[in-house]
Amino acid sequence: MPIRNGRAPMYRWLVPLLFTLTTACAPVGVADGFVADGAHISPFATGLPAITNLDPALLRAVREAARDAAADGVPMFLTTAWRSERYQRRLYDEAITKYGSEQEARRFVSTPGHSRHVTGDAVDVGPTDADDWLNRHGRAYGLCQTYANEIWHFELATTPGGDCPPMRPDATARL
């Protein structure tokens, strides 16, 4: 289509914009790894993409730790695990609104291209007693808290029994 008055026809930018907006605004669901606020899932759940899309070695370590924590009287669940890029984008956009800037949002929520949840390499654990238990015993399973400002965020960051790497202050340190 020819350009008139120095402008491309409206459809050339309007269609991609509408596609982006409708995709971004579409609700996320279980297929995206969605877990409702305040809800939690068992690390032993089956058939949930949030669990089945985790790295198999991470999932084995989390399940073993959850069994041992339960034997110590500490219930352990996941508040989030694997997430789709679309779900991560939604969380990131919400964090920008909440914290007022991309820089501040990145302290708590990574972009889809940097999130360890999107790659299936991170889990968020609860309740607080389980976070504490995992901080004390996690290295026995290779599980480490990786961000100082997120006591619930764990990754398979060492070999079982190895030393955890130093914590990063927050998620911006990974960029």
The string of DSSP letters for 139-171 reads: GGGTEEE-BTT-TTEEEE-S-TTSPPPPPBSSG
- Spatial CA neighbour of 122 closest among 144, 91, 99: 144
The Cα angle at residue 97 between residues 94 and 102, in degrees rounded to 5: 90
In this prediction, residue 113 carries a pLDDT of: 93
In this prediction, residue 9 carries a pLDDT of: 54
DSSP 173: G
Domains, the chain: 42-84+115-174 (3.30.1380.10)
Give 79's pLDDT tier (boundaries 50, 70, 90).
very high
pTM over 0.85: no
The answer, yes or no, to whether residue 101 has pLDDT greater than 90, is: yes
Give 15's pLDDT tier (boundaries 50, 70, 90).
very low
In this prediction, residue 45 carries a pLDDT of: 95
Tens-place pLDDT, residues 155-172: 999 999 999 999 999 999
Task: Please compute the mean of the pLDDT values over residues 84-92 and round it to a whole number.
Answer: 97
In this prediction, residue 17 carries a pLDDT of: 42
CB 155 within 8 A of CB 116: yes
Task: Please compute the mean of the pLDDT values over residues 44-57 and round it to a whole number.
Answer: 96
In this prediction, residue 38 carries a pLDDT of: 85
Tens-place pLDDT, residues 106-164: 999 999 999 999 999 999 999 999 999 999 999 999 999 999 999 999 999 999 999 99
In this prediction, residue 7 carries a pLDDT of: 53
